[in-house]
Chains A and B, each alone.
Chain A
């Protein structure tokens, strides 16, 4: 008789634990999904600024066709990217191309003084920060999730629910250097 009580008690405990852990997995997965979409939003915003930037640069620096073409193509490549990994990679390339277009502005004092251009420059710098923060939050979310997957007793429930540790977002090497934008 006494044994039955114990077994029922243990059964209820195990059930409760499995519910709690299931919900934790779902919460953390949602957090990861959400932070990933934040990265996407910011990358897209940056790509949306490109035509504007090209237009304001065109008026002052007609001879820099090569660089402008490079940026336009990088944008096109980004827009065509399907998976998140591709988007991050193409986004980094676009970022690299933008860096050079902002650098040539140094040679054109009128362009540098243009209000529209200044505004775009600030926006791009802010977006760059936000991309970095979004990436940081994404990796933090992955860390929380992986900790849950690998620590005891989470590791038990992870194998029951078929969850496994996820990969961190790799930053392409060249994107690590933050573009220098002087105000």
Chain B
């Protein structure tokens, strides 16, 4: 029965991704509506047309270019077959054992052990490892992490998670713009109940939206990490590999996040372990506690 539940999860991810696109689209339209109502209703149509075009471009770009955006934001370079032979061997092995097409491989400069996968489907997928991971992980550990990333690809987590990253990025930018513009334009236009209500709605929306999307994406991301750990083991048949890699990540010095290669907050859920190494656990953590993950792997 496991096979079926696996397919179910893929189906659910595809539906969720589609819903997310609809939400992003609707978000812009509603935003355009609110803005036009507050500023001046006579601009309604122009603003709505702009909002529609902008949201279409945003959604299409987010869908087709998300992997490129993600890679560019961490300054990743394509991995070379001669220099990163271990990485290619691990990826080829995992591609065979999972039956997935070979992903494109990238490497990003960072001392800490980390990796992420992105793309819109298994045929257009990328996997990026940090140089620290390539240096510090041995073959089994590398394969374990690779299998974890491959299962994100197989489950269509990458599509959903990258879209979520795009959504979070967008909502926080717009909310900022919105709040700031309210400071300047507030009170100059028509007085009245209607406008006051719209303004309150606008402010509440601008404050709540980023928090809500963040919480949703984190909750989803945490569940996904367990699932990817489990199905990754199905590819390697060697839970100890990933468990050892997670142990190495855990024992890394916390301050290893170097300033010049800062990772955007929106990207955090994509990585195998939280690049911010936040100590706080609970609603706001993108990843389940690493000890818990290791424990689960060790009893497999």
Q: Quick check: is B92 within 8 A (CB to CB) of the other chain?
A: yes
Q: Mark contacts of B77-100 with chain A using CB atoms, 8 A cut-off: 1 yes-contact digit, 0 otherwise.
A: 000000001000100111011110
Q: Is the CB of A133 within 8 A of B85?
A: no
A137 lies within 8 A of chain B by Cβ = yes
Contact flags (1/0) for A110-138 with B, using CB distance below 8 Å?
A: 00000000000010001001100110110
- Interface pair B3/A35, CB less than 8 Å apart: no
A34 contact set on B, CB distance < 8 A: 99
CB distance from B11 to the nearest CB of A (A): 14
A137 touches B98 (CB 8 A): yes
Is A86 in contact with chain B by the CB < 8 A criterion?
Answer: no
User: Which of A136, A141, A147 counts the most chain B CB atoms within 10 A?
Assistant: A136
Q: Is B237's beta carbon under 8 Å from chain A?
A: yes
Interface of chain B residues 68 through 119 with chain A (CB within 8 A): 85, 89, 92-94, 96-99
State the Cβ distance, A63 to closest chain B Cβ, in Å. 32
Q: In the complex, how many angstroms separate the beta carbon of B242 from the nearest chain A beta carbon?
A: 16
CA gap between A153 and B98 in the complex, in Å: 27
CA of A173 to CA of B277, assembled, Å: 47
A137 CA / B235 CA spacing, docked (Å): 8
Instruction: Report the Cα distance A137→B154, complex, angstroms.
Output: 14
Indicate which residue in B85, B92, B96 contacts A137 across the interface (CB closer than 8 Å).
B96
Shortest distance from the beta carbon of B3 to any chain A beta carbon, whole Å:
6
Q: State whether A134 touches B3 (Cβ < 8 A).
A: no
- CB of A179 closer than 8 Å to a CB of B: no
Q: How far is the CA of A147 from the CA of B6 in the complex (A)?
A: 15
- With CB as the reference atom, state the residue of chain A lying closest to B94: A133
Within 8 A of B (CB), among A131-175: 133-134, 136-137, 141, 144, 147
In the complex, whether A38 has a CB less than 8 A from a CB of chain B is yes
Q: Are A133 and B97 in contact (CB under 8 A)?
A: yes
Q: Are A38 and B96 in contact (CB under 8 A)?
A: yes
Interchain nearest-CB distance for A168 vs B (Å): 15
Residue of B nearest to A134 (CB): B96
Complex contact A133–B3 (CB within 8 A)? no
Q: What distance in Å separates the Cβ of B30 from its nearest Cβ neighbour in chain A?
A: 39
List residues of chain B with CB within 8 A of the CB of A122. Answer: 85
Q: How far does the alpha carbon of A136 sit from the alpha carbon of B97 in the complex, in Å?
A: 6
Bound-state Cα–Cα, A141 to B99, Å: 9
> Does A136 lie within 8 Å of B99, measured CB to CB?
no
Report A-chain residues with C-beta under 8 Å of the C-beta of B93: 126, 129-130, 133
Pair B99/A31 contact, Cβ less than 8 Å: yes
**A60 to B263, alpha carbons, bound, how many Å?**
51
Most buried by B among A122, A129, A134, A137: A129
Interfacial chain B residues near A147, Cβ < 8 Å: 3
The smallest C-beta distance from A23 to any residue of chain B, in angstroms, reads 13
Contacts of A130 in B (CB 8 A): 92-93, 96
Closest chain B residue, CB of each to CB of A126: B89
- A133–B93 alpha-carbon span in the complex (Å): 6
Closest to A143 in B: B3
Report the separation of the CA atoms of residues A136 and B237 in the bound assembly, to the nearest whole angstrom: 9
Whether B99 and A129, one on each chain, are in contact in the complex, defined by CB atoms closer than 8 angstroms, is no
Q: A144-B3, A147-B3 are in contact. Are A133 and B96 (CB under 8 A)?
A: yes
Separation in Å of the B197 CB from the closest CB of chain A?
51
A126 / chain B contacts, CB cutoff of 8 Å: 89, 92-93
Cα A137 to Cα B97 in complex, Å, equals 5
> Which B residues are CB-close (under 8 A) to A141?
99
Residues of A within 8 A of B97 (CB): 133-134, 136-137
For A35, what are the chain B residues with a Cβ–Cβ distance below 8 Å? Answer: 99
Binding site for B on A (CB under 8 A): 31, 34-35, 38, 42, 122, 126, 129-130, 133-134, 136-137, 141, 144, 147
Assuming A133-B235, A137-B96, what are 14 further A-B pairs, CB within 8 angstroms?
A: A35-B99, A126-B89, A126-B93, A129-B89, A130-B96, A133-B94, A133-B97, A134-B97, A136-B237, A137-B97, A137-B98, A137-B99, A141-B99, A144-B3
User: B residues near A, CB below 8 A?
Assistant: 3, 85, 89, 92-94, 96-99, 235, 237
13 contacts between A and B (CB under 8 A): A31-B99, A38-B96, A126-B89, A126-B93, A129-B89, A133-B93, A133-B235, A134-B96, A134-B97, A137-B96, A137-B98, A141-B99, A147-B3
Report the 8 A-B pairs with minimum CB-CB distance, sorted nearest first: A133-B97, A126-B89, A133-B96, A134-B96, A133-B93, A129-B93, A137-B97, A130-B93
